[in-house]
Structure 1
Amino acid sequence: MKKVFNKGLLMALMAILTLTAIVPQQAQAEESLHIMAEAAILVDAESGKILYEKNAGKPLGVASMTKMMTEYLLFEAIEDGRIKWDQEYQVTDYAYQISQDMRLSNVPFRKDGSYTIKELYEAMAIFSANAATIGIAETIAGTESEFVRLMNEKAEEMGLEETTFVNSTGLSNSSLMDMHPEGTKKTDENLMPARSVAKLTKILLDDYPEVLETTKVPVMMFREGTADETRMENWNSMLPGLIYEYEGMDGLKTGSTDFAGYSFAGTAKREDTRLIAVVMGAVDNEGAGSYKARFDATRALMDFGFGQFTTEEIIPAGYQFEGQETLAVEKGVEEDVSIAVKEPVTMMIRTADKKLYQPELLLDDSVVQNGKLEAAVEKDAVVGTVEIAKADGTEYGYLSGSAEDIEVATTESVERANWVSLSMRSAGGFLSSLWDDAGGFVKGLF
């Protein structure tokens, strides 16, 4: 008996150790991800699936990450033909004075100078040049005040929640030498939550991926070969060849002000996977904001994403739900029709979590009434969608609020029966009913 007890105890202990070694891995991985920032978010750039977030819904100072909206409106204006890359900008007094403030990131303008939109864009995207950004805003909208209106209008159109723009640069209005945009206050700041910054980043990358051709440039000379030549080293020090280089990093925008602290919207691609990481108000181990802290936080997020997640097929094409393989068909030559998932469903998940995701069929009650379809039924007719639920662990959802609909459709067509067939079927049903009633009557006699 003693040997049996010891063996049973040993097996129980082994089971417990196995469970503690495997089950909490997800929680431990997430708990060990200690991001030293006021807010952070990590997103799969293709689907918008959120892989991790911390305080991501709180509006915070966005600083020069604001310039991503200015970049978006610039690309849009170029695409619409409203301005051209080789178009010349005549420096205004406002832009000139800002350009002379060397406490800010800038390329110096000449008071009577003119610069191409391409020059201004490169200075903005690589060196975060503030006067160059103002020049772009004035070219597109006439004044920065009008440009700010366009920024907020576009933010609403994009669904950027809790977002307020008060200038085109991300500088504190108090840094604009009392020339801040009309309709705003000197104490105003640009505000965005990390989730909205990530959403803006994704939309910019989706609509104008060519932005990366510039944001990935580590160093460029402004007005090379002239007396105004200025070395522009990219503020994104995670680019290959720079001090905090990270494999696959090619964008996108840093930001820092006294109000916002140190922030960064970064993106990196490895093989077929692109991630977006946003950190806001990054600090070091002493709790102090620093240039390096934002890159350390970004590195931790990116390592977590590339190391823990893969894109997995959750549901294959043609998948059928057990017990719901068919739908009844009224007035058809066939009494039912097969249904299945149209396209394979892939998601970025932790590989070990694959079995935790379970599909559920949601029928469209505007098409399927009382569990039935009415003939004629066409092949590939959409009858519902799939909802995928995770049995255990945290699921953050998507930047857009939900995944794209996964359609369930008929796998074959069913023609409508002719009136003769329908009449015979109706008569058969009637006779069958009479027979059942008669049978019941006869049985009742005995």
Structure 2
Amino acid sequence: MVKREMRRWVAFLLVPLLLIMTLGTVPVYADSALGLHVDSAILIDAESGKILYEEDADKPLGIASMTKMMTEYILFEAIEEGTISWDQEYKVNDYTYAVSQDRRLSNVPLRKDGTYTIRELYEAVAIYSANGATIAVAETIAGTETEFLKLMNAKAKELGLKDYKFVNSTGLNNSDLQGMHPQGTGAEDENVMPAKSVAKLAYHLLHDYPEVLETTKINSKVFREGTSDAIKMDNWNFMLPGFVYQYEGVDGLKTGTTDFAGHCFTGTATRDGKRVIAVVMKAVDAKGVGSYKARFDATRALFDYGFGQFSEVEFVPAGYQFKDSKTLDVVKGKAKTVAVEVKEPIRMMVKTSEKDQYVPKLVIDESKMKDNALQAPIKKGTVVGNVNLVKKEGTDYGFIDSDNPGADVVTKDAVEKAGWFSLTMSAIGDFFASVWNGATGFVKGLFK
């Protein structure tokens, strides 16, 4: 009896002691659904923009050098429009010289009296995230970095980005710009954007200027090789082939690191014909410590999830007709109806285990209809609506660039407008039909 009571007291005393000891072993950052330790993350299909996964993707955070994707987009656009050329030369000024000499930052040192081609500067930006070179590109395009900010904001609005704030072209904290930061911005300001907007920027960059990958996939190159200014540029994307965190299929896109933003990365990889884009922001390890490894570990987890759990499925083939809506009514035409069909096949990357959850839904464009009918003449291939994919159960994250892009529904044939005689006879027929219906209705009413 005494022994039993002693055991109870020992257990009573040990429970709180064990609790105290256990508290010290709990990680600072708990696992998310994918085991990520990030402030924000998103994964999308690079082809369709389908969002495959997200965590706090609408929360504005520091983006650091991921900013340079916007600078690259505007550069490619300027080249395309002929505003500047790859061979055009830039002459170094006091601002770009001073920033480029700061080796605490990622930089290729520029000569104070030097000139550099836009292609040289661009490669330093895309491979080495060189900050002085980035400002040089911005100045070449817009005259000053202050003016370049206007282009950045205009392009962000055009692309439909949300909750963004640009204060410079590089992603540095303005305090690193030695008092020469763009006019109208604060001395301690830094660029901010949600992961969803970062992914959207990357999505448009890859769609509009896929040639960017020809440079971002280079793991190492010598700047000004063969000259006294030669400097080796190792890509900061350590997931590229030959680096410590290499991942099959990675060929871009942009890292970012500042005290404010933490360790960030916009990565893209392709495998078996599928390309995905992942964004991780403020990545840390299980103890809450940020590092290069932490951001690449988080990206790896997203890539593994995308390539392992998702597949492209064709839900609707081209020419598909809905069983109960194969035709639409037509007025003033030689035919009373016209067949409609899906113009292009609908393919989408979805979680393989959930592919049976999606069903096609026909949406007719009511602006094309009058009294629930199309009006002749009607050309073959006229768009009359679209098809959306609707998930029956569970969460669907939608698309990065639209609510549901679907596919156009078009007329299968043309319908000519009926001649005046046919229209007149049809009108007379409709008149007598309405009179007859009214009369029969009246007679039936008498016997109710």
Q: TM-score range by the shorter chain?
A: 0.7 to 0.9
Report the CA distance between 1:440 and its aligned residue: 10
SS at match of 1:317: coil
Q: For residues 120 and 167 of structure 1, what CA distance do their matches in structure 2 show?
A: 17
- State how many pairs are aligned: 415
Question: Which amino acid in the other structure matches residue 231 of structure 2?
Answer: T
SS at match of 1:282: coil
Match of 2:383 in 1: 382
Match of 2:6 in 1: none
**Distance 1:228-1:387 versus aligned 2 partners, 3 A rule:** same
SS at match of 1:210: helix
Deviates more, 1:229-238 or 1:349-358: 349-358
Report the CA distance between 1:225 and its aligned residue: 2.6
Deviates more, 1:288-297 or 1:420-429: 420-429
Q: For residues 69 and 433 of structure 2, what CA distance do their matches in structure 1 show?
A: 74
What percentage of aligned pairs have identical amino acids?
59
TM-score w.r.t. the length of structure 2 is 0.86
Question: Which amino acid in the other structure matches residue 242 of structure 1?
Answer: F
**Distance 1:428-1:187 versus aligned 2 partners, 3 A rule:** closer
Q: For residues 332 and 88 of structure 1, what CA distance do their matches in structure 2 show?
A: 63
Q: For residues 438 and 254 of structure 1, what CA distance do their matches in structure 2 show?
A: 78
Q: For residues 186 and 54 of structure 1, what CA distance do their matches in structure 2 show?
A: 31
Match of 2:181 in 1: 180
Whether 1:71 aligns to 2:72 is: yes
Q: For residues 376 and 88 of structure 2, what CA distance do their matches in structure 1 show?
A: 61
Match of 1:367 in 2: 368
Q: For residues 98 and 424 of structure 1, what CA distance do their matches in structure 2 show?
A: 82
SS at match of 1:119: helix
Match of 1:162 in 2: 163
Match of 1:23 in 2: none
SS at match of 1:120: helix
Match of 2:120 in 1: 119
Whether 1:398 aligns to 2:407 is: no
Match of 2:229 in 1: 228
Question: Which amino acid in the other structure matches residue 248 of structure 1?
Answer: G
Q: For residues 32 and 290 of structure 2, what CA distance do their matches in structure 1 show?
A: 22
List per-residue Cα deviations over 1:88-118 (Å, max 9, x = no partner).
2222122222222221111122222222222
Q: For residues 146 and 174 of structure 2, what CA distance do their matches in structure 1 show?
A: 12
**Distance 1:380-1:121 versus aligned 2 partners, 3 A rule:** closer
Report the CA distance between 1:40 and its aligned residue: 0.6
List per-residue Cα deviations over 1:209-252 (Å, max 9, x = no partner).
11111110001111223322211110000001111111111111
Whether 1:218 aligns to 2:219 is: yes
Whether 1:256 aligns to 2:242 is: no
Match of 1:10 in 2: none
List per-residue Cα deviations over 1:314-372 (Å, max 9, x = no partner).
11222222322222333444433322222211111122322211222222222223332
**Distance 1:302-1:413 versus aligned 2 partners, 3 A rule:** same
**Distance 1:373-1:245 versus aligned 2 partners, 3 A rule:** same
Match of 1:278 in 2: 279
**Distance 1:59-1:334 versus aligned 2 partners, 3 A rule:** same
TM-score w.r.t. the length of structure 1 is 0.86
Report the CA distance between 1:206 and its aligned residue: 1.6
Q: Which runs of 5+ in 1 are unaligned?
A: 1-29
**Distance 1:306-1:440 versus aligned 2 partners, 3 A rule:** same
Match of 1:36 in 2: 37
Q: Superposition RMSD on alpha carbons, in Å? A: 2.6
Question: Which amino acid in the other structure matches residue 233 of structure 1?
Answer: D
Q: For residues 145 and 420 of structure 2, what CA distance do their matches in structure 1 show?
A: 71
Question: Which amino acid in the other structure matches residue 173 of structure 2?
Answer: S
Q: For residues 286 and 233 of structure 2, what CA distance do their matches in structure 1 show?
A: 30
Question: Which amino acid in the other structure matches residue 73 of structure 2?
Answer: Y
Report the CA distance between 1:32 and its aligned residue: 4.3
Deviates more, 1:45-54 or 1:221-230: 221-230
Report the CA distance between 1:190 and its aligned residue: 0.6
Match of 1:412 in 2: 413
Indicate if the aligned counterparts of 2:389 and 2:406 stay in contact, CA closer than 8 A. Answer: no
Q: For residues 410 and 118 of structure 2, what CA distance do their matches in structure 1 show?
A: 50
Q: For residues 49 and 363 of structure 1, what CA distance do their matches in structure 2 show?
A: 23
Match of 1:307 in 2: 308
Q: For residues 215 and 427 of structure 1, what CA distance do their matches in structure 2 show?
A: 71
Match of 2:348 in 1: 347
Q: For residues 66 and 434 of structure 1, what CA distance do their matches in structure 2 show?
A: 72
Q: For residues 60 and 319 of structure 2, what CA distance do their matches in structure 1 show?
A: 43
Q: For residues 75 and 423 of structure 1, what CA distance do their matches in structure 2 show?
A: 60
Q: For residues 58 and 85 of structure 1, what CA distance do their matches in structure 2 show?
A: 37
SS at match of 1:329: strand
Match of 1:12 in 2: none
Whether 1:60 aligns to 2:61 is: yes
Whether 1:49 aligns to 2:50 is: yes
Q: Which runs of 5+ in 2 are unaligned?
A: 1-30
